[in-house]
Amino acid sequence: MINILGALIVSCLTTFLSIKVIKPFAKNIGLVDIPNARKAHIGEIPLIGGISVFVGVLVATSLYLPESQMINLYLISSAMLVFIGVLDDKFDLNVSFRVVAQSLIAMLMVFGANIYLSDFGDILGFGDIKLGALGFIITIVAVIAAINAFNMIDGIDGLSGTMGIISVLSIASLYLLAGQTDYIALPLVIAASLLPFLFYNLSGFSKERRYRKIFMGDAGSMFMGFTIVWLLVMGTQGEGASFRAVTGLWIIGIPLMDLCSIVLRRLKKGQSPFVADRDHLHHIFLRMGFTVKETLLIISLLALFLAGIGILGELFRISEVTMFLSFLLTFFAYNSALQHSWKFTKWVKKIKGNANEV
């Protein structure tokens, strides 16, 4: 029997101690985020959140979770990805290099751990969609997409960590609904490891405590995306699947829809999907006049709402066709709203202006 409480305490404390130990060295080794045209924060912020969260997960899983090839390969793959992320944080690696590295790590998940998408379920109403050998390629693409979805959404204080906690706790809830309590330890450990990071990351909201602030960095956001796609694929595939594949779309609804919308918009403009801009969901809310705190709260509530739909759909066994079509309709509405965000921006600013006059 896994001592879950012990694992949670150790993961939380280890992450906290890692932050305290690593933070003083961040500036000396150049692992800091410097303000520029796209980054409006104040001062050089240590990019150590991802490293610290991974250390917390590594120590807790090594001490409390039963040793297995699956866990070992997860930790090895994650360590490789965190290392690539640290290099990217420090040297701003070429996009091609990052994608190749992410692909190799995805292959380790697919061919090493034997965790891959083999069945989409009955999402079209014609019976289960079996992927066969194509599932290997689709899984590698899905891993790259998830890694970059969480990397791209890491744009304001607290957002990447909050999206991560919502996703892993939702997955733990689905395991619990399926009666597979032995599987909830890993997502809970990850959630516990994120708590100390959020404490430091959100310190920037207070002028008196701004010196505490740290960022997740590419190492952390990529690690988070990889972890969540690993848990989703593991939970939805095989004979002992805990929940349906379509449910996973709702669990990572906001990062996934933000990624797809941004990629479609950039391709339409003839740009590379990896070119940085300020058209993400959080940027749009900020342009509307919402504060960082308000933006974080709104997006977090949206993510919780979508994850809740997925969990309720699983609980009440709503048909996969209905869940899939509903998700597509939600994405089309989301994408349309972002395409016409300037209209909403004008409307919100007008309302805020009228409210201020009153």
* Residue 275 pLDDT: 75
Q: In this structure, how many other beta carbons lie within 10 angstroms of the beta carbon of residue 12?
A: 20
In a domain, 66, yes or no: yes
| pLDDT tens column, 180-236 | 887 899 999 999 999 999 999 998 666 656 668 999 999 999 999 999 999 999 999
In a domain, 354, yes or no: no
Does 82 have pLDDT greater than 80? yes
In a domain, 307, yes or no: yes
What are phi and psi for residue 128, nearest 5 degrees?
Answer: -60, 135
Mean pLDDT for 263-290 is: 83
Which contiguous run of DSSP H or E holds residue 224? helix 217-236
| Confidence band of 2 (pLDDT split at 50, 70, 90) | confident
* Span between the terminal Cα atoms of the chain, in Å: 61
In a domain, 229, yes or no: yes
In a domain, 200, yes or no: yes
- Percent of the chain at pLDDT above 90? 74
Domain count, the chain: 1
For residues 188 and 243, is the Cβ–Cβ distance under 8 A?
Answer: no
Range of the domain at 277: 4-114+123-348
In a domain, 18, yes or no: yes
With H, G, I as helix, E, B as strand and everything else as coil, classify residue 42.
coil
In a domain, 353, yes or no: no
Does 263 have pLDDT greater than 80? yes
In a domain, 356, yes or no: no
Tokens, residue 225 = 């995306």
For residues 126 and 245, give the distance between their C-alpha atoms in angstroms, rounded to a whole number.
Answer: 16
